[in-house]
Structure 1
Amino acid sequence: MEESEIPVEELYDKIKKKFSLPDFGPLDNEFEISTIEDEKFLLRQVAKKISERLQNFQNIFADVLNPDINSLAVLHESKFFDDVVKEKLFIAYQKLMLLQRKFLEADVLLDDKNTAKLINDAWIQYPSIKQETKLLVEQLKHTWEKALDPKEELRYFG
């Protein structure tokens, strides 16, 4: 059996033991690592999957903290957050940015030990980051549940 025919989970289990990584199942559930097609540099690919998911979360925070004036949805949502809330959101955003920069550094260094440590660190921080993102998404959703005045909403785009 060629390496490319070995399921990702089996390949992951080998590096899991070597680097004391998180279990495959929960990691796959959150970051879809079973969809990795090129297993040659599996550790790097796992790091990329985690980074991609965190990037999605980061974008949600960035839209509220620094709204794009060309996006009606972002402008609408951002006006519901006062400065006190935005300061709290920025703290979560800062955590995400730090992790993203560490993933960038790992991508530059290409050091498996460093990459494995980062995967473990990100996995430890992930539950709180996910919870903070979940709360923000709920708040964003609620901005659309309120009665809206189309004229008021569209006056900035007139």
Structure 2
Amino acid sequence: MEQKIKKKYEELKKKYSLPDFEELNKDFEISIIEHEDFLLREIMKKIISKTTSVCESFENLLTPDNTVVSIYEYRAFNDAGREEIFKLYKKLKVLEKLSLELSLNHDEKKDAEFINEFFSSWESLKNKIIKIIRKMRDFWEKESTRKENEEYFG
């Protein structure tokens, strides 16, 4: 299956100057797409699936609900940090909405443009995402007691 997908992608790559298959596959696992029909749309779905997952993780940092995870991770960032997270969140949401709009109007050329534009900014976005996730992980590794957390929010 992967070979059929890769072959179809290579045809589209030539037509639309798309990024290398392996580069996209590394971050978005496009080789596991099952059908070559509407391949660019399927690639967009893979991209947006990942960015949506990131956005869901960031939502608790911006407006925590009443769970231990949400409250604890919210504390890892100050107001300036949350403002930076919100800027990144907005960029990802704009991409998500654009992808949704494109999915309603099949236009292979516009799908390819989306993939190219997204991929040109992906490394920068990914580095910012990783920085935030590392800060969350580091905060979890930090020594604290349950009592300290209850006092902070109690």
Q: TM over 0.5, yes or no? A: yes
Deviation at 1:40, TM superposition (A): 1.3
What's the offset of the Cα at 1:102? 0.8
Which 5+ residue runs of structure 1 have no aligned equivalent?
A: none
Structure 2 unaligned residues grouped into runs of 5+:
none
Correspondences of 1:23-38 after superposition (within 5 Å):
23-38=20-35
**Does 2:80 correspond to 1:84?**
yes
Write the mapping of 1:1-158 to structure 2, written as runs, cut at 5 A. Answer: 7-69=4-66, 71-154=67-150
Distance 2:44 2:21 in 1: 13
Matches of 2:82 and 2:22 in 1, distance apart? 34
Q: SS of the residue aligned with 1:103?
A: helix
Please give the alpha-carbon distance, in whole angstroms, between the structure 2 residues aligned to 1:115 and 1:68: 36
Report the 3-state secondary structure (helix = DSSP H, G, I; strand = E; otherwise coil) of the residue aligned with 1:7: helix
1:39 aligns to what SS in structure 2? Answer: coil
Query: Percent identity, aligned pairs only?
Result: 36
Q: Deviations over 1:73-113 (max 9, x none)?
A: 12111022111111111111111111111111111112111
**CA offsets per residue over residues 7-53 of structure 1, 9 Å max, x none?**
21111101111111111011101100000012211111011111111
1:110-141 C-alpha deviation (Å, 9 max, x unpaired): 21111110010110111111001100011101
Give distance in 1, aligned partners of 2:116 and 2:126.
16
d(CA) in 2 for partners of 1:5 and 1:77? 39
Identify if the C-alpha distance between structure 1 residues 5 and 92 changes in structure 2 by more than 3 Å, giving closer, same or farther.
closer
How far is the alpha carbon of 1:147 from its aligned partner?
Answer: 1.4
RMSD (Å), alpha carbons: 2.0
Aligned length: 154
Distance 2:124 2:56 in 1: 17
Change (3 A) 1:102 1:84: same
